[in-house]
């Protein structure tokens, strides 16, 4: 990548970091908001689902818009919507306002993710793309890591300060994107198959080379959503972890996961390719999630959950890298479908996991392991297409 592309990539990564930082800010403040507005945990669950389902619905549409109207405009609209959603949450004194905020938050995520993914595909080559997508995934993870801690610190100043801060960051990112991002030149890429180039988006979804990748994204995201959503409850109920123990475990595993994306992902895709890397991570994740239900002791649990998170953190950019290589001129489409399947998993995972958790605390993890094992079985029939990567 040349110097100009690196600067643009840094701006894109900064935008993603800010967006997911804002999402993470809400985590430590939610209990206080619940008490202030006298709302139940069920309502909080609906607030979370509102974000995920809105992103689910909007992502395929925004992906097509990114192809039709451009990457830059969708990124700017997404960041602006993000700033408005955070401002509404900061000012909201009624549950209805909070729901509007979360719905707008889902729209913003749906606008940003496909457009940024397509933008990165436009400014990178097939050789540099895996590293850039690894950085993208790391920026997302880092935002999630720092968000809760920063939110807790800012909440000491005032309950709504984290949201005002996120709104300000979103506004700054919007302004910077207006001035520093230019619509990328799209190299007319050859499609994997000429016949597939004329297919509609819905028909393309069911082409095996796309469908298998989207299924892997959905299943791995489902497993991650289950593991992440119930880790604190699981360790509290089963092992008596304190909030400090849980924070240390999540932070350590998340930091190592982010570092693995930055330092290892590019090399591992060069050694094994995306498909083989995904297969390896799926089977390791399935095995160690089962192991997690059988061990005890703080250090052992931290080690096991770190291994699980590292595998998840490698699966996502590997699948995204694979899709970007086969997408041809439909980078926005695959970015939108990627976001849609991730959102669907993020919505369904906690719901099904919660039902099983009420029966037995181990059951959500058994479900996640079963899904990942099924994904591994599916991936065994996944063949890498022959792609002509010559520049026209």
What's the number of CA atoms in the CB half-sphere (13 Å) around residue 211? 9
pLDDT at 243: 58
3-state helix, strand, coil in the chain (%, to 5): 85, 0, 15
Residue 174 in tokens: 């919007």
Q: Give the separation between CA 207 and CA 227, rounded to whole angstroms.
A: 30
Contact 365, 229 (CB under 8 A): no
What's the number of CA atoms in the CB half-sphere (13 Å) around residue 131? 13
Q: Give the separation between CA 204 and CA 210, rounded to whole angstroms.
A: 7
pLDDT band at 389 (very low <50, low <70, confident <90, very high): very low
Q: Give the separation between CA 47 and CA 35, rounded to whole angstroms.
A: 15
Q: Give the separation between CA 353 and CA 6, rounded to whole angstroms.
A: 41
pLDDT at 308: 87
Q: Give the separation between CA 374 and CA 357, rounded to whole angstroms.
A: 21
pLDDT at 257: 75
Tens-place pLDDT, residues 285-311? 999 999 999 988 888 988 998 898 888
pLDDT at 211: 78
pLDDT (mean) for 263-276? 81
Q: What is the largest CA-CA distance in the chain?
A: 61
DSSP letters, 180-238, are: H--PPP---PPPSSHHHHTS-HHHHHTSHHHHHHHHHHHHHHHHHHHHHHHHHHHHHHH
The closest of 209, 205, 187 to 333, measured between CA atoms, is 205
Q: Give the separation between CA 26 and CA 102, rounded to whole angstroms.
A: 11
Q: Which residues, at least 6 apart from 189, have a Cβ–Cβ distance to it below 8 Å?
A: 327, 328, 329
Burial class (CB in 10 A: 0-12, 13-18, 19+), 314: buried
Q: In Å, what is the CA distance from 235 to each residue of 78, 181, 256, 293, 325?
A: 36, 44, 20, 10, 40
Residue 172 in tokens: 């700054």
Residue 218 in tokens: 């959905």
Residue 237 in tokens: 């109920």
Contact 102, 51 (CB under 8 A): yes
Tell me which of 4-8, 26-30, 207-211 is least confident.
26-30
SS (H, E, C) 56-123: HHHHHHHHHHHHHHCHHHHHHHHHHHHHHHHHHHHHCCCHHHHHHHHHHHHHHHHHHHHHHHHHHHHH
pLDDT band at 148 (very low <50, low <70, confident <90, very high): low
Residue of higher predicted confidence among 149 and 142: 142
Residue of higher predicted confidence among 266 and 94: 94
Q: Which residues, at least 6 apart from 273, have a Cβ–Cβ distance to it below 8 Å?
A: 384
Tens-place pLDDT, residues 70-97? 889 999 999 999 999 999 998 988 888 9
- Checking if the pLDDT of 215 tops 90, the result is no
User: Which domains does the chain carry?
Assistant: 1-183 (1.20.1250.20), 203-382 (1.20.1250.20)
Q: Give the separation between CA 241 and CA 232, rounded to whole angstroms.
A: 8
Residue of higher predicted confidence among 332 and 128: 128
Tens-place pLDDT, residues 95-123? 889 899 989 988 998 898 888 888 887 88
């Amino acid at each position: 990548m040349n110097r100009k592309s690196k600067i643009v990539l840094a701006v894109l990564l900064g935008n993603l970091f800010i967006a997911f930082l804002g999402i993470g800010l809400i985590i430590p403040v939610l209990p206080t908001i619940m008490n202030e507005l006298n709302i139940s945990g069920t309502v909080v669950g609906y607030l979370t689902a509102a974000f995920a389902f809105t992103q689910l619905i909007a992502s395929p549409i925004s992906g097509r818009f990114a192809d039709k109207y451009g990457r830059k405009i969708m990124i700017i609209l997404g960041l602006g919507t993000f700033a408005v959603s955070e401002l509404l949450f900061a000012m909201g004194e009624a549950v209805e306002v909070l729901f509007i905020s979360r719905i707008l938050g889902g729209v913003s995520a749906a606008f940003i993710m496909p457009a940024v993914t397509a933008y990165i595909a436009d400014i990178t080559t097939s050789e540099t793309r895996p590293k850039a997508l690894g950085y993208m995934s790391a920026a997302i993870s880092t935002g999630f890591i720092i968000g809760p801690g920063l939110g807790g610190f800012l909440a000491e100043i005032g309950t709504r300060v984290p949201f005002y801060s996120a709104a300000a960051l979103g506004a700054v990112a919007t302004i910077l994107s207006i001035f520093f991002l230019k619509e990328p030149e799209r190299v007319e890429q050859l499609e994997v198959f000429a016949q597939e180039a004329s297919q509609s988006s819905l028909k393309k979804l069911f082409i095996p080379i796309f469908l298998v990748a989207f299924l892997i994204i959905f299943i791995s995201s489902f497993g991650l959503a289950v593991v992440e959503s119930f880790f604190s409850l699981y360790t509290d109920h089963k092992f008596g972890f304190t909030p400090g123990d849980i924070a240390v475990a999540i932070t350590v595993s998340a930091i190592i996961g982010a570092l693995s994306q930055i330092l290892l992902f590019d090399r591992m895709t060069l050694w094994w390719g995306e498909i083989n890397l995904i297969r390896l991570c799926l089977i390791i994740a399935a095995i160690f999630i089962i192991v997690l239900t059988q061990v005890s002791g703080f250090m052992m649990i931290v080690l096991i959950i770190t291994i699980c998170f590292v595998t998840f953190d490698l699966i996502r950019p590997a699948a995204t890298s694979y899709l970007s290589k086969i997408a041809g001129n439909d980078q926005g489409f695959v970015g939108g479908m990627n976001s849609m399947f991730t959102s669907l998993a993020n919505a369904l995972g906690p719901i099904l996991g919660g039902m099983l958790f009420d029966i037995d605390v181990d059951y959500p993890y058994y479900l996640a392991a079963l899904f990942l094992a099924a994904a591994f079985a599916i991936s065994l029939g996944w063949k890498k297409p022959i792609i002509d990567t010559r520049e026209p």
